[in-house]
Structure 1
Amino acid sequence: MRLTVLGGCGAWPTAVQACSGYLVEYDGFRLLVDPGYATLPRLLHHHTMDAVDAVLVSHGHPDHCADLNPLLRARGLSDDPPPALPVYAPHGALDAVLALDKPRMLASAYRLHEFAPGDRFALGPFTAHTWLLPHFVPNAGIRLSTPEGVLAYTGDTGPSADIVHLAEGADLFLSEATYVHEVPAADAPYLLTARLAGQYARQAGAARLLLTHLWPGTDPAAAREAAAEFFEQPAGLATPDLVTEITGTAS
């Protein structure tokens, strides 16, 4: 399994970093996870718009799904449209982004498969196991398994014991880390720190930790140092065009 980071910036994109967006590839299948703001240009840096086989969205905030609209436009309005794109998302999560155009305009460009966080389903060559994790809107933590490795991804979440189950023994744990040491009190139930990400990675026995969704302007070194307070392996950062292989024995 291969992960290509398209972006990992929280809330809004910067001049050098798109919002959350990850391309996960296995056995010739390309799964786009969370096409947030400004991720489509990064995707097109690596592949053509018709190279994506399916899309999986953790929740309905636009920094995780807004660029689904231009992706569907690029596919549906092309001279030779590719087959309808399977799109998986929690119930109602994509209502706003799919309403940006007239209902019939892109209707043939996608097939929507809605699920409830907690569901488990096959998605191409992946087994997707989801958890409902606490956020401002319903958010699905996602565990993608293949016979050769496991990727666990939090989406956006606050503290939860279920994060340990999500990331248990994962070969790569992709965790939101909006803040470094402390989340403002009003948002504390709904977001994580890099320190907490390191703590959960250690409790889960994850092999590697990749921090993502850092607030714009966050010092990357400070985030890594905070994660290292609990997680002994060096924590990586989800930076544009980072490519990493995910292999191991987790399942």
Structure 2
Amino acid sequence: MTPPPPRESETVAAAPIEPPPAPDYSHRWGIGAFLLVEAVLLLSAAFISAILQPSSSNEPVSVATIVIGSILPVLIATGVALLITRLRGNGPRIDLKWSYSREDFKVGLKFGLIGLVLTTAAAMIWTKIVGEDNATSAFSALVDSRSLPIAAGIVMFLYAWLVGPICEEIIFRGLLWGALERLQWGRWTVFGLSTAVFAVSHLEPLRTSLLIVIGIPIGLARLFTGRLGASVIAHQVNNFVPALTVLLVSLGVMAP
């Protein structure tokens, strides 16, 4: 005698939450690769600044110096990071867990919006503590009190909103994250260390605590998905308002 068919309530089960993919330790790069990329970033920034520096102390800093000096060193360092994954690993898609799926977008948008609210509140509190004069980031200070040409202002806006987050995520939640995972430390340890290094590496000691708050939701997007695409989206969402502010200030629409 065959058993009766299961009831509909017994056949429909909640879909399990898919855990992040297991770390891949097959690449041949580690902490040394991250330190090399950071050295390239600092040295290229110093070299480019020296080349573009005005010959006279009385000569104002040009728009080209502001734009090129802000963007080019990060692009060079990111290029070195990607090259390392090609030469010493399996490429960025595997080694850095690069992806850009609908799920990445949804998770990244959620953490980005949460982070935007938290960091806006944290920034207001932090500004009251340190004062308005000390609250400006190094990037914002580049365009404060300057009226950039429209093209330069748009370039800075797009970099701060879209391109910069991709570069920083490749370096910190990609290369550094993979290097720490290769040491087989726990996921939360990797999250905590990468967030702290992300904050300290901006070389803005006064803003380090605020940068840690900014980095937490971005790192959580990487932690919970195991993929870089989610943290890129979260970073871009978090950067939109500050990038828009920089654009409006640089174009003279808003007062610095």
Query: Per residue, is there more strand in 1 or in 2?
Result: 1
Instruction: Tell whether the structures are fold-level matches, with TM greater than 0.5.
Output: no
The structure number with the bigger radius of gyration is 2
TM-score by length of 1: 0.23
TM-score by length of 2: 0.23
Query: Per residue, is there more helix in 1 or in 2?
Result: 2
